[in-house]
Structure 1
Amino acid sequence: MSCSAAFAKNDITLWPKQKPAIEKNASLEADITRLINKMSLEQKVGQMVQAEITWVTPQDVKKYHLGSVLNGGGTFLHNDRNASVSDWVSFMDELYLASMDTSAGGLAIPVTYGIDAVHGNNKFIGATLYPHNIGLGAAHNPALIHKIGEATAKEVLLAGIDWTFAPTLAVARDDRWGRTYESYSEDSEIVALYSKEMIEGLQGKVNTPNFLDDDHIYSTAKHWVGDGGTYQGIDQGDNRETEKDLIKNHAAAYFPAIKAGVQSIMASHNMWNGLRLHGSKYLLTDVLKTRLGFDGFIVGDWNSHSKIPGCTNDSCPQAVNAGLDMFMVVEDWKAFIGNTIEQVENGIIPIERIDDAVRRILRVKIRSGLFNKGLPSKRKYANQKQLLGAPEHKAIARQAVRESLVLLKNNNNLLPLSPNSKVLVAGDGADNMSKQTGGWTINWTGEGNVKSDFPGGTSIFDGIEQVVNKAGGKAVLSPDGSFDEKPDVAIVVFGENPYAEWIGDLKSIAYQAHSHRDAKLIESLKSKGIKVVSVFLSGRPLWVNREINASDSFVAAWLPGSEGVGVADVLFTNKKGNIEYDFKGKLSFSWPKYASQVVLNRFDKPYDPLFAYGFGLTYKDNVNLGKLNTHNDFVFEVPTNTPYVIMQGRAKGDWNYQLQTEQETKDIQTPVGKIQGLSMIEADKEIQGDAKEFTWTGSNHASALISSTWYREDLSQYLINKSALTFDVRVEAYPEKTLNVQMGCGKSKCGSFDIAPILKEFKLSTWHKVSIDLLCFANKGVEFERSSAPFVLSSEGAAKVRVANVQFEPKAKETANIKCGE
């Protein structure tokens, strides 16, 4: 289908007609025209480029006249996640001075720096981290959103940074989507209300003296448009809604954003009815810029222009002509500049389109004061380190945590608890800052963060311990639920591990549908006669009927951020037994009754949730919830006979080899690799290089993984079709100790099975097949819904084995060497 054929079906009259939020200033526009007339084509195209910090230097900014620099979610200044505030300010100075250097014929046009400050200035260790948007949506408090925007602006400004890629205005319609937690609500009503407040908090109020003044930064509404409505919740997939529904569900929050004077809007990765947003002239130019009156600039998302048919990372005239103004071209920006210049010279891109893009970028830079504010280090908040995690900001975040909590069950009014009690705090989320802060925290996915990365922050257990100890009670942390002294009550904190974007996509919303690890923990405590309060950490509503059944009280805590103490504020009375904080949170997402309700939204017909949009108990309610159906009715489309190939000499797909000790992890990109105590070389089974040989020296514990630091895959369908992990193995030297097969659990390993006894039955230097029922791994806590390492070999003793043909083999469960029951 041609673009013109698709656009012929569109009806622009369905969209509201809006004027620009700021009346056109003739003097400012004349200044921009004079500056554009002085610019060479190279300088103009340079302004349209945003390069990533890993692949750009201040010298590059000067030489190529770059308009912007960013850092991605997973990258750090000078590759140092602990870079100080002063390091950041110094680098901002370097970029600024390079952009203003006219010694080689350049023009003094200040560079702008963009960062994903999406729940606070979340790249910075020590920053105040607010609940993710899904929690803020449950708070239903626009004034609080405004305060969060103001506080976030200050924590960004202290680093010399002037621009954030926030707020996210997605309306998540399918909870399988990995970015659901970035959405305030499944309904555009709250999102539209919040968009104005967050933008005014970040930028100041448009057409007033505080708009984009020294206390504010400029913001980005993202992602235009329809990102939360893709088919099956597939990130960057296809939104197949009609134009009317696209407007009602996904564009509605942009209308108040534009009226609030948002200065940049980010184009979305997704398609709308098969056409990429980055290449849609209709939606970028005809609708957004013309019909809706947006006069800022449109910035692209991470190399997303390359997804347009005929485009690459370094060449995309289609996106330029469609109306994209600034390209987040990341690494290949030099070639992109050269190709774009050539395309203008050859008439493929009109110079008028280039001039329009540059005009919009310069307009925002002038409005935001970059031409007048001078060196980043000389600005009002620069280097004010005391503002990073400032007490007044933490107080706002703590309030946000309290107001975001939604009480779903409180049988026999177990809550609130007396702080003068013996409280067992269990679950792997209780003292887990990585889990409670979620994705977009310090790094992209939020995985691997440890408590020391959150100075001044409080885990949920920290908060409980503070409240209980102060009242003379006793709080004991026991993630596995074990205890010496029987508690009066148990609080179990559990939920999703952190993720970001497509890594978080699910095929099913059934929580731990195969391992049931957390449900078993709660049930174990209940079997001992202990009352249980469950605190569920998640980036979306999930089907947790078994967990709810086992709990006396159940709280949806979402992803509360750095101030976990806010949870204890609500769960307990004060020392005198008085309620200081009741539950205020009300669901901004419908909660599923059945696992099959992957698409469940307010006003759907039929609409049969377990807990409806807007539901949330308070301490005034006296409601007992009966037993819920725990039959998983979600039907997978499962491959019947096709194995999932993990390794045939080389790791397949997006997996790669890693070698690991307790002190070090090495990514191995070559056929051979070595780490202390373990080496890997290429070997043969049927053909050259179709196997690997692993040698453990026995000097220390070491592991060989087929894994990824960034990739995750939902492999749960292979449990459904009764698969086994199978691999061919040839023993060259019998293991002296255990040789364990494991799988990944986030950044760690779990589900260990010793195959040394099996291998010792094999004749040396001959090939044999080993298989392990996947259910065995699930029973030991492996979550196949987001696999991080489908195959791991570990030992602390000497051994030498060759391995080939690692795969998940359907219907191999019954013949496995190691098999397990349900």
Structure 2
Amino acid sequence: MDLKITEAIETERKIDALLKGLTLEQKIGQMTQVLHFEPLTEGEVAAGRIGSVIHTQGPLPGEGAMGWQQRFRNLQEMALASGPGIPLLFGVDAVHGQNTYEGATIFPHNIGLGASQNADLVEKAAAITALEAQATGFNWVFSPCIAIPFNEKWGRVYEAFSESTPITEKLTQASVRGHQGRLSDVHTVMATAKHFVGDGSTENGIEGGATTLSASEIKDRLLPPYRAAVASGVGAVMASFNTFDGIPMHAHRELITGTLKGEMQFDGIVVSDWKAYSRFGEADIINAGIDMVMAVDGDLELFQEGLRTAVETGYVSGGRIDDAVRRILRQKFRLGLFDNPYPSAALIDKIGCQEHRDVARQAVRESLVLLKNKNEVLPVSPGAAKIIVVGAHGDNSGLQSGGWTIDWQGTDRNYAGATTILQGIARMAEGDVIYDAEGREKHPDADLAIICVGEPPYAEFFGDIGHESNTLKLELSKKHKEVIANYHDQGVATVVVLISGRPLVVTPELEKADAFIAAWLPGSEGDGIAEVLFGKYDFKGKLPHCWPASLEDLEGKYGPNFWDDSVTPLFPLGYGLSYG
């Protein structure tokens, strides 16, 4: 008999034995995920009533990576000393590197990796993310996002690879391979395909809104990346906030149990998103197929007591509970947690190491899309006598990295270990480099102005166009338009570097610029941009989205090819110039 089959059979036998010894409360505990700093966490862990712990926005687990590891080691010891003795899963939103830890290697967000279309590079980035996540104590990451964005108004466009289903399929497989490797290895983690399904295709791009595509459109456009993830052995799938046919996706039994678990034969964990139990139907989400619940922000008692009552009254079957716990235990065995439950201190020195940063810098270089290069103003001559770097985005690693960087909504400050665009340019240039942060100075004698403009950091709901929390638009701010106009009007050759999580309407600015680059959200290695600007490397990136010519082009939803038949994009999917 094949060794893998033998191991799988043995694992199921071990799970059977564990299930027989668990009380209902302990089974529900395995289905429970909490924040590491929530009240009752330690007591619940010690009682064997927690299955997973997560870190996201909030107090840090400890001082430095060793402190993080020690916090999770302490919780793991409590779990193993409890009656069930089942190890914990530790999850983190590491969506472009271990982005919750300052000093980690931060990669371009997925939209940039989508522009690279380099599956090998995506796999390497995922493997490095996994190692640095393990080095800070985690064995589970909530990545990759494999949504297909239909509307640029959505505040999570940058978390997805592309509006192209084939590109997303290819890079999904690479990401899962990179994160998970051989699951039981100490430097790999369990990956999570998210968010199932339709999160990027809601009306008007509203996070958690209504997905009004037909069932056939969902099957043909949105589900193929999930099939690819399942075929690649992804360990978890996270449900999404949106609705379909008026049903919250968390409570959509036909799609979760019927399609994902049944038709696709997914045998891993279906995990809820934030506070889903109280938001989307309580026990109904368990009946729909959710296996593990983020019982956060006051949901812990509501979830555990509510589900216990639902089982005792027959609203949720004991078989559904056993299926959920079996899936959770299966992944814990596959991760090797019963044999090796603790993080390795030997990995800490790898966090943000030069080898990892070299890969991230390559990812930055290959993500850049050259949209215009009038009169071959690029590449920049290293011997240029005077170069002006313009704009706050030019010398701020927080602004260049976007949301999900250090903090949930990102940061507007420089963070440890990162290199800014200005620093990279200063290293490459032989002449004078002057920084004009506000973009109001006069330098008519400059050889070149490299103008860095774009969006502020944002994440999730707060990045939706029209959300009450922001004044974001699908175009540059008035200030950034004025910055470009200032240098254009001086007669200085201008190169615009656009830092954004989605295509923006920049048609007037394109006309004023001599060269224009879509740099997306490059992460911690800003010097990768400089290396391409100075011609050390050529442009390789190709647009992962069609690029709009006007704001009117972005009204409503896209048509059969993601654009209405009446709309011609300014630049099509796959567009991108090079020096050659």
1:389 & 1:130 partners in 2: Cα distance?
Answer: 11
Question: Structure 1 residue 584 and structure 2 residue 551: aligned?
Answer: no
Paired position in structure 1 for 2:43: 59
Which residue identity is paired with 1:360? R
Is this contact kept in 1: 2:153–2:474, CA < 8 A? no
Question: Structure 1 residue 611 and structure 2 residue 575: aligned?
Answer: no
Greater C-alpha radius of gyration:
1
Report the alpha carbon displacement of residue 486 of structure 1 after superposing the two structures with TM.
Answer: 2.7
**Greater share of strand:** 1
Compared with structure 1, are the counterparts of its residues 196 and 383 closer, same or farther at alpha carbon in structure 2 (3 Å cutoff)?
Answer: same
Paired position in structure 2 for 1:327: 293
Q: 1:117 aligns with which of 94, 97, 103?
A: 94
Question: Structure 1 residue 401 and structure 2 residue 378: aligned?
Answer: no
Which residue identity is paired with 1:229? S
Q: Structure 1 length as normaliser, TM-score?
A: 0.67
Which residue identity is paired with 1:536? L
Is this contact kept in 2: 1:430–1:461, CA < 8 A? yes
Instruction: Give deviations 1:98-153, integer Å, cap 9, x for gaps.
Output: 11113xxx111001110011000000000000000011100010010011111111
Is this contact kept in 1: 2:496–2:516, CA < 8 A? yes
Compared with structure 1, are the counterparts of its residues 600 and 349 closer, same or farther at alpha carbon in structure 2 (3 Å cutoff)?
Answer: closer
Is this contact kept in 1: 2:444–2:491, CA < 8 A? no
Paired position in structure 1 for 2:527: 565
Paired position in structure 2 for 1:259: 231
Q: Structure 2 length as normaliser, TM-score?
A: 0.94
Is this contact kept in 2: 1:267–1:277, CA < 8 A? yes
Is this contact kept in 2: 1:519–1:550, CA < 8 A? no
Report the alpha carbon displacement of residue 342 of structure 1 after superposing the two structures with TM.
Answer: 1.6
Instruction: Give deviations 1:400-421, integer Å, cap 9, x for gaps.
Output: 0000000111111111110111
2:303 & 2:489 partners in 1: Cα distance?
Answer: 64
Question: Structure 1 residue 33 and structure 2 residue 16: aligned?
Answer: yes
Which residue identity is paired with 2:164? D
Q: CA RMSD in A?
A: 1.7
1:185 & 1:160 partners in 2: Cα distance?
Answer: 31
Question: Structure 1 residue 192 and structure 2 residue 165: aligned?
Answer: no
Is this contact kept in 2: 1:85–1:383, CA < 8 A? no
Instruction: Give deviations 1:24-75, integer Å, cap 9, x for gaps.
Output: 8222212111110100011000100001123143332112520001122x22
1:347 & 1:95 partners in 2: Cα distance?
Answer: 33
Report the alpha carbon displacement of residue 305 of structure 1 after superposing the two structures with TM.
Answer: 3.3
Instruction: Give deviations 1:457-514, integer Å, cap 9, x for gaps.
Output: 110111001101xxx21111111231568311100001000000010001485414xx
Instruction: Give deviations 1:228-253, integer Å, cap 9, x for gaps.
Output: 10011001111100111112221110
Question: Structure 1 residue 477 and structure 2 residue 425: aligned?
Answer: no
Is this contact kept in 2: 1:600–1:609, CA < 8 A? no
Q: Secondary structure at the match of 1:213?
A: coil
Please, which runs of 5 or more residues in structure 1 have no aligned partner?
Answer: 1-20, 205-209, 574-579, 621-822
Paired position in structure 2 for 1:644: none
1:27 & 1:351 partners in 2: Cα distance?
Answer: 23
Paired position in structure 2 for 1:49: 32
Instruction: Give deviations 1:674-732, integer Å, cap 9, x for gaps.
Output: xxxxxxxxxxxxxxxxxxxxxxxxxxxxxxxxxxxxxxxxxxxxxxxxxxxxxxxxxxx
Is this contact kept in 2: 1:510–1:595, CA < 8 A? yes
- Determine which structure has greater relative contact order: mean sequence separation of CA pairs < 8 Å that are 6+ residues apart, divided by chain length: 2
Which residues of 2 match residues 595-634 of structure 1 at below 5 A? 595-598=551-554, 599-600=557-558, 602=561, 604=563, 605-620=565-580
Q: 1:462 aligns with which of 394, 404, 423?
A: 423
Q: Secondary structure at the match of 1:494?
A: strand
Which residue identity is paired with 1:554? F
Aligned residue pairs total 564
Q: 2:475 aligns with which of 485, 491, 511?
A: 511
Is this contact kept in 2: 1:409–1:552, CA < 8 A? yes
Is this contact kept in 1: 2:548–2:569, CA < 8 A? yes
Please, which runs of 5 or more residues in structure 2 have no aligned partner?
Answer: 467-471
Compared with structure 1, are the counterparts of its residues 375 and 417 closer, same or farther at alpha carbon in structure 2 (3 Å cutoff)?
Answer: closer
Compared with structure 1, are the counterparts of its residues 339 and 492 closer, same or farther at alpha carbon in structure 2 (3 Å cutoff)?
Answer: same
Q: Secondary structure at the match of 2:394?
A: coil
2:208 & 2:346 partners in 1: Cα distance?
Answer: 37
Paired position in structure 2 for 1:152: 129
2:231 & 2:342 partners in 1: Cα distance?
Answer: 30
Is this contact kept in 2: 1:509–1:543, CA < 8 A? no
1:556 & 1:497 partners in 2: Cα distance?
Answer: 15
Which residues of 2 match residues 142-291 of structure 1 at below 5 A? 142-204=119-181, 210-291=182-263
Q: 1:550 aligns with which of 512, 525, 532?
A: 512
Paired position in structure 2 for 1:705: none
1:305 & 1:136 partners in 2: Cα distance?
Answer: 33
Is this contact kept in 2: 1:300–1:326, CA < 8 A? yes
Question: Structure 1 residue 101 and structure 2 residue 60: aligned?
Answer: no
1:166 & 1:175 partners in 2: Cα distance?
Answer: 21
Is this contact kept in 2: 1:86–1:383, CA < 8 A? no
